[in-house]
Structure 1
């Protein structure tokens, strides 16, 4: 679900945590890759004409048939969970889960060897792990759907993996996919040359074989990225008139949540009433069904961001229960959220699932040398599968790597 690493660091501080470190893909690992590329592109002179020959340049009206509603299987909230490590490829010492499909049967992430900066992108299907093929093997897996279709990025190029085969997504270089739905639609961003720099422009592939089309921005000079696809095919993203790399700067034209409906029209997402005087930001980071989880700035400086949960069916924000120390990071189609719970100073950081029945503390994984607390970041539609990472304790051992973990709940 989640791309600015500095913002993620601040969000983790809100629950007293520290940002993940070490050779791993974080819970928004695919987004970090895009941030790195934006820096590289913006410091180089890019020839606009050369890139324009392979990229879609104008904002194209995209009229798509809405996807049939996905009805979550009937299930009551889970009451107990078991946790275990996920399998790793031969030769790997650790890794992390960075995404999953709505069923929880497909998970994506990375594997790494101790002391090595190189990562291998991997795919888990139930209890089996495979390395992604071709160029994506050492790239970043961004998203997976319930058919096991994976999209990702490697060497500034966008790829799709279907039935064990890797192919380039159409559109040339400078493209970064961020999500794929069960209908095969893919969203992300492309880099558009603007003088001596580039800016991100949100794009949509109607299918893995279609050319990407720009999603219309609010006005001249705006930029943005698409982060997810809602149940009816609505695309959710973030737009800005002042640059998406800003660490601070919520305001009327900065870092606004945005949606593109299936008929191609776009509009700002509503703003939470909790944004505070003069604040103008809602930063979506996860999309599940008709729900969007994001953050908005708080009025008090110590509490930098507050979670905000938007129901797209009503355009109303649902006030989360006042649970101190719970920091949600992902939402499913029921509006249930998963994240971290506790305070670092108390030494009790762990994972938790918030459902209609309340907060369920997730059991801690078995302790291990060079490992710290768990961070869940993926939750299935029925809440029965939760996945994430047990962080590496790089303070004690700089060569340590994290451990991919999964909770099976009942």
Structure 2
């Protein structure tokens, strides 16, 4: 396969450092190392220096935090996206924004190939490559883990030593992790046995509920058309919003998840996640919808959430069906304006108040006291009409 220039999705870790040198040797062409800042804690100067030292023609570091929150996290949370009832899609949402930027850099730099470090067993290879193909199918895709023979950590270390690639002398992590502004995930290693409880020192974003404050924290979140815009009356931009929510959730032990999920490629995988801010955001958003969404609109929208979430998880962010569903979800959000008050306490996130100028809740109708707007006798005809088919079935059985 003849290629002239490659853009590699690069993190500076062992895998992508080896891939960087391997691509250079295998294809005998320049390689641009591209690193994406989506909110992970990283020494970007060290990443740049290591990439250049390992042989990259150029290192490009893109700050994608604002775009990630504004154009990926917020749209997904407007739709209440959740995979298999639990997972808030932190890694799944980050991949398309990274791959999109990688395609942009390839086009800007005159590269004809893109590469990534995802393995042939996981979901990320699909998410990266579906995005590449949706945005520029002319690019050649190189997935080293599917074609090379460096299929073990020892082989990677031997290759790194041979090519003088620095490998930090640190204790090997008993799992792999991925971090961004929405979450941090932990997989593999000791977590591959689903019976093993995660060790407490693994968690980074949250205190344990047992060690959370004994006093509850109250917070008010304001929404405009389904997007969070202010906390306790202070208007915040997208990145500041997620940062503040993560701090609030983390301090109160909120957002830990341990689950076994179904990967797109067909196997089950155990993952442990910390999503403190996202957990708060979803709880607040859903609660505000209870007073601002029409019943039938809510029920139809809710029926679409599993399909919408599967599209994100499986890597189809840039697909026509995703555009259709996002437009539908956003149409439902035009009236989702208002404020939700939440009580955060030892891992729990409890909505305790909500208000909106678009509220469909009216005490005059809902009250158990005497009212003048609802005739309870009307319910008899309503029940009779709705029971007609049930009565017919009962009579036919006799």
**TM-score normalised by the chain length of structure 1:** 0.28
**TM-score normalised by the chain length of structure 2:** 0.29
The structure richer in helix per residue is 2
The structure richer in strand per residue is 1
